[in-house]
Amino acid sequence: MEFGVYHEFPSLAGRPDTAAFEDAFDLVEAADDWGLDIMWLAELHFDPERSVLSSPLCVASAAAARTKRIRIGIGVQVLPLGNPLRIAEDVATVDQISRGRLVLGVGRSGVARTYEAYNIPYAESRGRFGETLAIIQKAWDAPVVSFEGDYFRFADIAVTPRPFQAGGPPIYIAATSPDTYAAIGRRGKPILMGVKFEDARELAPLIQAYRDAWKAAGHPGQGHVTMRTPGYLASTAAAARADAEASLLHYYRAQAALQMDSARRPGVDGADRKRAAAERLNAMTFEEAQRGSILFGTPDEVTDRLKALERDIGLDGIMIEMNTGGLIAHEKEKAALRLLCREVMPRFR
């Protein structure tokens, strides 16, 4: 199993942004030293109480310079917000700097207010995503590219530099709705799925649809499924809860507010679904969340939960949100990371 940690570079109440970057890079360096497979970097905009990580490719470049072996994942680059040629250039540059340690996760994001701030209609997000992804892949596959689409048009462009990895970094695609699982399988790309409190086994039919579409399209193997979920480790279950419960519940309430905000904005599909999700998140308790697939507890408990998920849904990778909500003290988060790397990962090798 591929082990990863999702990191938002959380803002620190009462402390400058500089301190947030210092703590976050300290965690990245520790993950490299302790053998974590991949550190996933968020892309979050215009939320100063949550995160300072608005430019993950810039941060990935700095992380590459500070580390030796860990892979660096973008989790995820919100493709519709950018120019595809610029994204192709920037990603290839970081891939060169990291000497092939970059993994590009891509998605659309469900935060509609970010689109409005960038003057991009959210209703265009699906179309822009498809065109942007196609252009990026073309730019890495051919020395000169042209494109004619609904949103982007250009002729005879040579994107430079070329990526370090032949054909470009691996591209993982976030599954944002049920219909996207099979679509990603047909593309032959690894998939990123997320749970906040749910039991991931509820998504087993969608994962099977992804694998069936993968096979039907003639791709070798059966695909690659990575699950993002909140998690935290401590020496006892009681300590894990004491350290992380308030932060987790803060995250649920903040996510509920984001869902309700997006549901009110024009061009957003599934508004009723977002409102229902917001109501559930607002009422969520730690006990209820523990009945799902979050990974809170001792190394033994987290190992048992992961092995069960590996068995039941064929999980290939995990992306643990180690500081969900951003309120856990840095040294405690670092201690939890050490437990993950030293006491859980070796049981899957």
- Provide CB contacts within 8 A for 141, sequence distance 6+: 167, 168
Looking at residue 190, what is its pLDDT? 98
Q: Which two tokens stand for residue 7?
A: 């990191």
Q: Are strands 191-194 and 225-233 parallel, antiparallel or unpaired?
A: parallel
* Fold for the domain defined by 2-246+292-348: TIM Barrel (3.20.20)
Report the residue count for the chain.
349
Three-state SS annotation for 156-183? EECCCCCCCCCCCCCEEEECCCHHHHHH
Task: Output the tens digit of pLDDT for each of the chain's 349 residues.
Answer: 999 999 999 999 999 999 999 999 999 999 999 999 999 999 999 999 999 999 999 999 999 999 999 999 999 999 999 999 999 999 999 999 999 999 999 999 989 999 999 999 999 999 999 999 999 999 999 999 999 999 999 999 999 999 999 999 999 999 988 889 999 999 999 999 999 999 999 999 999 999 999 999 999 999 999 999 999 999 999 999 999 999 999 999 999 999 999 999 988 888 888 999 999 999 999 999 999 999 999 999 999 999 999 999 999 999 999 999 999 999 999 999 999 999 999 999 9
* pLDDT computed for residue 25 by the predictor: 98
Other beta carbons within 10 Å of 279: 13
The DSSP line for 176-227 is -SHHHHHHHHHHT--EEEE-SSS-GGGGHHHHHHHHHHHHHTT-SS---EEE
- Note the pLDDT of residue 271: 87
> Hey, what are 86's tokens?
């610029």
Judge if the upstream peptide bond of residue 161 is cis by omega within 30 degrees of 0: yes
Rounded-to-integer distance, Cα 237 and Cα 79, Å: 39
Q: By three-state DSSP, how is residue 300 classified?
A: helix
**Close Cβ partners of 91 (under 8 Å, ≥ 6 residues apart):** 57, 74, 77, 102, 104, 136, 163, 168, 169
Please say whether the beta carbons of 233 and 339 come within 8 A: yes
pTM: 0.96
Q: Spell out the residues 6+ positions from residue 33 whose beta carbon is closer than 8 angstroms to its own.
A: none
Burial 188-227 (b: 16+ CB within 10 A, else e): ebbbbbbbbbbebeebeebbebbbbbbeeeeeeeebbbbb
